[in-house]
């Protein structure tokens, strides 16, 4: 039987490529696997040969030690691959198909899935609604930063690319369909972006850049991106965004007024999450900063899309409240301004087919927007280090050397 290699979380700040078991169509015991999930048969699943798999900022939270992720966890929830084995219950997905895997694991049968709320599937994670590959407290499904991975509920979940050769030509764009493109798009849709909107995006990491590109696709008149790292802001400017350096300028409203003539926007998107920093040169860790700043910067009656990750447990937080996800949010400000808040994982399946068509038609150029950068599986640990240092790249792992450079 073929072997497998994967990126494994060891301890805060350290990942390693290790030999691992070849996947089976059953959920075996291992690091992070909920006991109630052990032995779960997945005849409805497939085995994929991973073509591309991406490093995500959510992975980085775990690698920094900011979650309760166990040592030995195989990482990776952004997966694109070729089907090499199908379970006995799989009817429509075939061997040889090239597919995108939504990072949400969803059964297609529960009330949430029937409402298209595949981000809160009720049957795949005994801990709480919602699941994902290679992620802490998400049921223990093995991650996809590997050579091979098992994907359950294949007929329901998988997005098959219509033409393999065409897909491989655009694979650096299509690989973003598993998470960050739908996540950025969901942030923009949740914020109510429409033709003519003025939009503020907090964070110029890959999800923030995807949100900014999505806002442009939705017809925004001006997209302003704020961050504290100039290299990331330069990447946002490369595809037509205005930018605000929040390390140099701590008054967001003043900076918005210089760009727009008024100190507020129609819509705002939080693409930072709980590892936020206070604005200004000496701003330290302040996890509620982004939420409070976008409430202040969004017009009355506006909407706030919040795809940035917030957690129920943060062992690396600086105060006791934040360790359990309790943040000092100015909720009264949001109430007074009648804001709408939309939070939670992204229901990828609501968006991924339409975004695929936008990519294949040339309308969306997400790889360029996020600076997709190809690396090998063995280069993944160095990719994590560079990403943690703030480099403006979206690292795409090519485990088998299948992507034409």
pLDDT tens-digit readout, 201-226: 999 999 999 999 999 999 999 999 99
Let me know whether 121 and 45 are in one domain. yes
Let me know whether 170 and 195 are in one domain. no
Specify if 405 maps to a domain. no
Q: Is the pLDDT of residue 166 over 60?
A: yes
Let me know whether 270 and 197 are in one domain. yes
Please give the share of the chain, as a percent, with pLDDT higher than 90: 88
Q: Is the pLDDT of residue 240 over 80?
A: yes
Let me know whether 36 and 132 are in one domain. yes
The secondary structure of residue 195, as a DSSP letter, is T
Where does a domain end: 314, 342, 370? 342
Summary mean pLDDT of the chain: 95
State CA 241 to chain mean position distance.
21
Let me know whether 171 and 129 are in one domain. yes
Specify if 403 maps to a domain. no
Other CB atoms within 10 Å distance of the CB of residue 324: 12
Let me know whether 236 and 113 are in one domain. no
Where does a domain end: 304, 327, 342? 342
Mean pLDDT confidence for 65-85: 95
The secondary structure of residue 48, as a DSSP letter, is E
Mean pLDDT confidence for 169-192: 98
Let me know whether 107 and 32 are in one domain. yes
Let me know whether 243 and 305 are in one domain. yes
Strands of 62-120 (E only): list them: 79-86, 98-101
Verdict on whether the full-model pTM lies above 0.85: yes
Q: Is the pLDDT of residue 1 over 60?
A: no
pLDDT of residue 405: 66
Let me know whether 268 and 297 are in one domain. yes
Specify if 404 maps to a domain. no
For 247, the domain range is: 180-342
CATH of the domain at 237: 3.40.50.720
Using alpha carbons, select from 21, 201, 178, 46 the residue that is nearest to residue 100. 178
Let me know whether 239 and 364 are in one domain. no
């Amino acid at each position: 039987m073929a072997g497998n290699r994967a990126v494994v979380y060891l301890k805060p700040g350290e990942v390693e490529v290790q030999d691992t078991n070849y996947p089976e169509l059953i959920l075996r015991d291992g690091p992070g696997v909920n006991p109630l999930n052990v032995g779960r048969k997945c005849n409805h699943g497939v085995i994929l040969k991973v073509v591309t798999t991406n490093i995500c900022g959510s992975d980085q939270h775990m690698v920094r030690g900011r979650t309760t992720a166990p040592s030995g966890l195989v990482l990776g929830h952004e997966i694109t691959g070729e089907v090499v084995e199908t379970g006995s219950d799989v009817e429509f997905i075939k061997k040889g198909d090239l597919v995108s895997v939504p990072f949400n694991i969803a059964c297609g049968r529960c009330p949430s899935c029937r409402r298209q709320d595949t981000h809160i599937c009720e049957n795949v994670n005994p801990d709480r609604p919602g699941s994902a590959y290679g992620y802490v407290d998400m049921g223990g499904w093995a991650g996809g930063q590997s050579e091979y991975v098992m994907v359950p509920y294949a007929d329901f979940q998988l997005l098959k690319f219509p033409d393999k050769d065409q897909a491989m030509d655009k694979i650096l764009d299509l690989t973003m369909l598993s998470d960050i493109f739908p996540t950025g798009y969901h942030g923009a849709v949740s914020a109510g972006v429409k033709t003519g909107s003025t939009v503020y995006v907090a964070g110029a990491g890959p999800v923030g850049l995807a949100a900014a590109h999505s806002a442009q696709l939705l017809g925004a008149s001006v997209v302003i991106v704020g961050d504290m790292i100039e290299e990331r802001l330069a990447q946002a400017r490369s595809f037509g965004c205005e930018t605000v350096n929040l390390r140099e300028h701590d008054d967001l409203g003043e900076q918005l007024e210089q760009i727009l003539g008024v100190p507020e926007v129609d819509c705002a998107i939080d693409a930072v999450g709980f590892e936020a920093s206070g604005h200004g040169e000496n701003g330290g860790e302040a996890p509620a900063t982004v939420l409070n700043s976008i409430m202040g910067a969004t017009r009355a009656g506006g909407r706030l899309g919040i795809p940035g990750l917030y957690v129920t447990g943060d062992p690396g937080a600086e105060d006791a409240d934040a360790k359990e996800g309790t943040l000092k949010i100015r909720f009264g400000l949001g109430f007074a301004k009648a804001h709408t808040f939309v939070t939670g994982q992204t229901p990828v399946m609501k968006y991924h087919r339409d975004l695929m068509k936008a990519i294949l038609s040339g309308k969306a150029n997400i790889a360029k927007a996020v600076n997709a950068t190809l690396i090998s599986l063995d280069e993944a640990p160095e990719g994590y280090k560079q990403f943690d240092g703030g480099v403006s790249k979206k690292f795409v792992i090519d485990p088998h050397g299948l992507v034409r450079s």
